[in-house]
Amino acid sequence: MRSFTYSRAGSAAEAVGRAAAGTAFVAGGTNLLDLMKADVLRPEGLVDISRLPLDRIEETAEGGLRLGALARNADTAYDERVQTRYPMLSKAILAGASAQLRNMATNGGNLLQRTRCYYFYDTATPCNKRQPGSGCGAIGGVNRIHAILGASDQCIAVHPSDLCVALAALEAVVRVTGPDGERSIPFAELHRLPGDRPEIDTVLRPGDLVTAIDLPARGFAEHSTYLKIRDRASYAFALVSVAAGLEMDGDTVRDARLALGGVAHKPWRDPEAEAALIGKPATPDRFRAAARVLLRDAKGHEHNSFKIELAERAIVRALTEAAERKGASRP
Amino acid sequence: MIAIPSIPGFLTEPNGPIGKPVSRVDGRKKVTGNAHYAAEFTLPDLAHGCIVSSAIARGRITRIDTAAALALPGVIHVFTHENRPSLAWFDRKWKDDDAPKGAPFRPLYDAEIHHALQPVALVVADSFELARYAARLVHIEYEAAPHQTDLRANRANSFTPGKDKGGFQPPPKPRGDPEQAFLASPVRVDAEFTQAAEYHNPMEMHATTVLHHDDGTLTVHDKTQGVQNCHTYICNVFGLAKSAVRVMSPFVGGAFGSGLRPQHQLFMAMLAATQLKRSIRVELSRPQMFSFGHRPETIQRVALGADRDGTLRALIHEAVQESSRNENYVEIVVNWSGQQYACDNVRLDYTLSRLDVHTPLDQRAPGAATGVPALEIAMDELACKLGMDPLDLRLKNYAETDPNTGNPFSSKELRACFRHGAERFGWAKRSPAPRSMRDGRELIGWGMAAGVWDAMQGQAAAKAVLGVDGKLVVSSATADIGTGTYTVMTQIAADVLGLPIEEVTFCLGDSSLPAAPVEGGSWTVSTVGSAVKAVCDRVRSQLIALAGKLENSPLKGVAEEDMVFADSHLIVRNDRSRRLSITEVMRGSGTLSIEEEARALPYLLARARHTFATHSAVFVEVRVDEDLGTVRVARVVSAIAAGRIINPKTARSQIQGAVVWGIGMGLEEEAFTDHRLGRVMNHDYAEYHVPVNADVPEIDVLFVEEHDDMVNALGAKGVGEIGIVGVPAAIANAIHHATGVRVRDFPITLDKVLAGLR
């Protein structure tokens, strides 16, 4: 491993102050340390934020929940308030990684995990995300796990998180403190599409520290689900995942949230697809129509075209389950 | 059902340890961390090596700049082809016991690159972390040459190999007129099957620790399935005296065939230790576990022709597999198809296509795990076309003798596997039509397949030392790769001499022990077990002789066959009050210890006239999501006929583990090669999928009674491979039964099912 400096921050302000160019914050380390060992990431310094008091889950004045950036994934998923009020979120977290990883990984780190694209990990191959300008190995290469939406000719990587897909559907807000003070970022704006700068995953600026994730009061607890489809029953990243939340008025959809994972550089939401559900009866045909709206620009590559059909079917299934579900179900 | 057949004249006592579910004698060591593996041995001044792997698939190195690496304090040396010492020149010096025909790969030999991830340099440093960092600073420039890694694109460019590898016979000549018989058959199946390349991926990565002693001798702790194979290899390659090196491998964290040949980390560690004259460890990274031996990618065609009553009229099985440019790795693939069913018109063809890859390597049931599933899916397709129960079709064409040779089987209780397996599974309740069973949104499918594997035996020697305290130490240079060799050999020795398990110690994994071949092919119980029995029989005879000579011996004049050994005593079979303890016999005769060595050979005459094989019948239930195509294996029944089961507990573990791998073969495992780069891309546990606990249902293992007094003195055949053979096909057939979708390409990932569900 390359040499790097290590320091432990005593406060958020101190952490931000130390975040010079080339440094990285480390908390759970479940992704960063792997990438350093693989020589994919080469930070010159690590600022350890794991002891900052950002690990609580608290009520917000607006009736929602504030998830501390350093709250562990497992603690978040098993928090009774999360389970009762945001079952979709709890289910999404538990669909990810393994029990051991969830015990280590933090919520903030989960947002910032890097893609699992093979080419990103293998330093002998081209990857614009790892080494800008080197090319995209996955385009024309092995691309079974890659994007069908929002990709560019520079990068077709996908964001691997499950948690983020649910946060996107719930319209969470990411709270950040940085050199310019504190600010809030609507979840949909946190991650960016690759475009011609695939090396940049998010809108965070150097020195920005995620402190919390605010969940709004509406949790779609009665009619929601998280459906993850993968190549084995556990410990695999999503080929396609769906976070679905509905508000029902009898058999009619009053409001809808729909986010897709495993298909793009960020959790994929589309207001038009949700609009296609609202005010309509909750039927498979309507769900399929909405899915087709969401997937209207989907484009496959040699090995991943199946994801388009799979995503459509998964959306129909997830919405069907969400509509059927009565009351909060524990995952 | 555990049924242990009795073989007259073998068991000394019906209540002896053979056939008992004895817990692993090394279990405590393993679970307490006291079993030490190759990368765990150390000395205070241990150096650490890190291998640099090639970035290209073919070409040559034009420049290596090691200056930046060497400039780091603590970096000791960087070995490359430019500064390597003189090494063996002749190919035969680089051969090992499992080498196929050809020129073995020579690490750091010259500038040529033959395959992706080829080792091109070894960085040696004071610490592992430093070595790994310095390895990244080694600057290498290549001149790339065009490469071919795509079997599909190169299938036409193949050749027919000969008898190029031990244990594998070329296919027999065609019999009858298969092409004409096929065309004349009223019911026909003709389909192509593919099997993706798979990597062994044992949990423990390959590692070697060489301890350099003050007198210049070396102790080599290597991850291997054959300490003596590695011993010979390194002595030949480095020109060392046999007595100067000792190879040890007492514990192996899984191997599955990957340890059958000396791997390059052994070469690298030896190179550094001999050149630097110090102790060193070299361990591969997980991605580097994709830099040698794999189950080769295979494309097959199976054509079956049958009468309307299900009688097979024609069977054609063709396979093309990848091998490297430098060696003819063969696993034949097709021969079991000619052996499994009675059919008069058969053609079996096997060819190789050379690609720019490292040489493939035996992986659990090499050949059979690839070829038999193709046959067994084709049989299922034929049953569907005939409107016949798949089990009935197999019984209809049951081979009573080996159709390939005309010889009888030494034993073959496959029929009992079918019967007991079907009964346990509830096969009779199967609704025959595809898509006719469901539970909510899940389509339920029941599928079955038969399996077969060879019951081989090699030559091995064993030594036994019985002390006056009644403790027995038996040794042989075999391996225990997690299979239970320690335990089973202990049981055999304890059984012959009537000793409690705790009084017997079995030693293995040390090149200085009596000769044993590589541990693989399910032949270790047969090969080494026979030697253990032979040497313990000698000790037994000695004890009887000594007992007969004692004054006032109650055993005087008793013939050997009238004596039994139990509870550490010699006992007269028909008068159990007449007995002496082993200790009494040895003390009384002034014998401090009895030492014997014996060598066991296969029954060559019987082997020339019979076919020796294990058989299985596998029944699988799958649940397939009707919309999403996701497949879940819900239950498995595996019925096994493998002769006498020495230890039903370890044998069951072998079958269960093999079924788990069969689930992986069937549904998950696949190395994705980027053919532009000639490189496997999913080279880690996150993206190369093997089954996780959540994928594995209850696995019900049955051993059917099978009596075999020709296979060896134990009547046991070995169970390492047979458990995997039928599983992928049973899963594929169950998926078809559930969905009506026939997938012939392994692994059956959900996209392949989805394509059929549309």
Cβ distance of A118 and B672 shorter than 8 Å: yes
Q: DSSP per residue over B98-156, as a string?
A: T--EE----TTSSSEE-STT-EEEEEEESSHHHHHHHHHH-EEEEEE------HHHHTT
Rounded distance, CA B557 to CA B386, Å?
68
Q: Using CB atoms, which residue from B632, B672, B677 is nearest to A233? A: B632
Rounded distance, CA B434 to CA B661, Å?
26
- Tell me what pLDDT residue A331 has: 40
Instruction: Name the residue ranges covered by the structural domains of chain A.
Output: 5-47, 224-323
Q: Which of B204, B318, B706, B721 is catalytic?
A: B721
The amino acid at B228: Q
What the block records as the tokens of B650 is: 């370890």
Q: Which residue of A has its CA nearest to B678?
A: A141
Q: Among residues B297, B220, B226, B222, which one has the least CA distance to residue B257? A: B226
Residue B669: C-alpha distances to residues A33, A233, B663, B682 (Å):
27, 14, 9, 11
Residue pairs spanning A and B at CB distance below 8 A: 87
**Which is it for the CA torsion B601, B606, B608, B611, positive or negative?**
negative
Q: Which residue of A has its CA nearest to B54?
A: A124
What is the percent of chain A with per-residue pLDDT over 70, rounded to a whole number? 98
Q: Using CB atoms, which residue from B676, B683, B693 is nearest to A141? A: B676
Q: Which are the contacts of B43, defined by CB distance < 8 A and separation ≥ 6? A: B211, B212, B279
Place of tokens 């997937």: A295
Under DSSP, is residue B18 helix (H, G, I), strand (E, B) or coil?
coil
Measured in angstroms, the CA of A116 and the nearest CA of chain B are apart by 8
Rounded distance, CA B22 to CA B568, Å?
18
**Which is it for the CA torsion B534, B538, B540, B541, positive or negative?**
positive
Residue B511 DSSP label: T
Rounded distance, CA A170 to CA B214, Å?
68
Q: DSSP per residue over A52-96, as a string?
A: SS---EEE-TTS-EEEETTSBHHHHHT-HHHHHH-HHHHHHHHTS
What number does CATH give the domain A224-323? 3.30.390.50
The amino acid at B42: T
Using a CB-CB cut-off of 8 Å, the residues of chain B touching A127 are none
Using a CB-CB cut-off of 8 Å, the residues of chain B touching A237 are 686
**Which is it for the CA torsion B222, B104, B665, A159, positive or negative?**
positive
Domain covering B410-455+608-757: architecture: 2-Layer Sandwich (3.30)
Residue B128 neighbours by CB distance under 10 Å = 18
Under DSSP, is residue B244 helix (H, G, I), strand (E, B) or coil?
helix
Rounded distance, CA B346 to CA B405, Å?
12
Rounded distance, CA B585 to CA B658, Å?
45
Most distant CA atoms of chain A, gap in Å: 61
A148-183 pLDDT per residue, tens = 999 999 999 999 999 999 999 999 999 999 999 999
Q: Which residue of A has its CA nearest to B663?
A: A232
Cβ distance of A124 and B679 shorter than 8 Å: yes
Using a CB-CB cut-off of 8 Å, the residues of chain B touching A235 are 686, 692, 694
Contact criterion met (CB below 8 Å) for B615 and B415: no
The interface pTM score, or ipTM, of the predicted complex is 0.96
- In A, what residues contact B, Cβ < 8 A? 1-3, 37, 39, 116, 118-119, 121-122, 124-125, 137, 140-142, 144-145, 229, 231-237, 239, 306, 309-310, 313-314, 316-317
Q: Which residues of A230-254 are buried (b: 16+ CB within 10 A; e: fewer)?
A: bbbebbbbbbbbbbbbbbbeeeebe
Let me know how long chain B is. 758
User: Which run of H or of E encompasses B672?
Assistant: none
Q: Which ranges of chain B have pLDDT less than 50?
A: 1-10
Q: Does B67 touch chain A (CB under 8 A)?
A: no
Q: Using CB atoms, which residue from A39, A234, A309 is nearest to B754? A: A309
Q: Does B681 touch chain A (CB under 8 A)?
A: yes
Q: In what order do the strands lie in the sheet with A224-229?
A: A224-229, A240-249, A252-261, A268-269
> What are B282's strand-pairing partners?
B49, B208
> What are B408's strand-pairing partners?
B401
Q: Which fold has domain B27-34+458-601?
A: Aldehyde Oxidoreductase; domain 4 (3.30.365)
Say whether B721 is catalytic: yes
Q: How many CA atoms lie within 13 A of A32 on its CB side?
A: 22
Rounded distance, CA B732 to CA B478, Å?
36
Q: Using CB atoms, which residue from B132, B681, B751 is nearest to A1? A: B132
Place of tokens 């209540």: B15
Phi, psi (degrees; rounded to nearest 5) at B440 = 65, -125
Q: Among residues B107, B431, B489, B387, which one has the least CA distance to residue B268? A: B107
Instruction: Name the residue ranges covered by the structural domains of chain B.
Output: 27-34+458-601, 410-455+608-757
Phi, psi (degrees; rounded to nearest 5) at B683 = -95, 55
Using a CB-CB cut-off of 8 Å, the residues of chain A touching B50 are none
A34-70 pLDDT per residue, tens = 999 999 999 999 999 999 999 999 999 999 999 999 9
Cβ distance of A233 and B692 shorter than 8 Å: yes
Rounded distance, CA B206 to CA B224, Å?
8
Report the residue of A313, A315, A316, A324 to disrupt the B interface, i.e. the one with the largest count of B CBs within 10 Å: A313
User: Which run of H or of E encompasses B328?
Assistant: strand B327-328
Residue B194: C-alpha distances to residues B314, B651, B688, B744 (Å):
21, 30, 18, 7
Q: How many CA atoms lie within 13 A of B366 on its CB side?
A: 28
Q: Among residues A73, A156, A150, which one has the least CA distance to residue A116? A: A156
Rounded distance, CA B285 to CA A39, Å?
13
Rounded distance, CA A145 to CA A156, Å?
9
Using a CB-CB cut-off of 8 Å, the residues of chain B touching A119 are 681
Contact criterion met (CB below 8 Å) for B453 and B721: yes
User: Which run of H or of E encompasses B319?
Assistant: strand B312-323
Q: Which are the contacts of B573, defined by CB distance < 8 A and separation ≥ 6? A: B562, B563, B564
Contact criterion met (CB below 8 Å) for B17 and B501: yes
Give the mean pLDDT of chain A: 96
Distance, CA of B667 to chain centre? 20
Q: Using CB atoms, which residue from B132, B681, B694 is nearest to A233? A: B694
> What are A24's strand-pairing partners?
A46
Rounded distance, CA B246 to CA B212, Å?
11
Q: Using CB atoms, which residue from B628, B672, B694 is nearest to A144? A: B672
Contact criterion met (CB below 8 Å) for A204 and A279: no
| pLDDT band per the 50, 70, 90 thresholds, residue A2 | confident
Rounded distance, CA B241 to CA B231, Å?
10
Cβ distance of B674 and A306 shorter than 8 Å: no
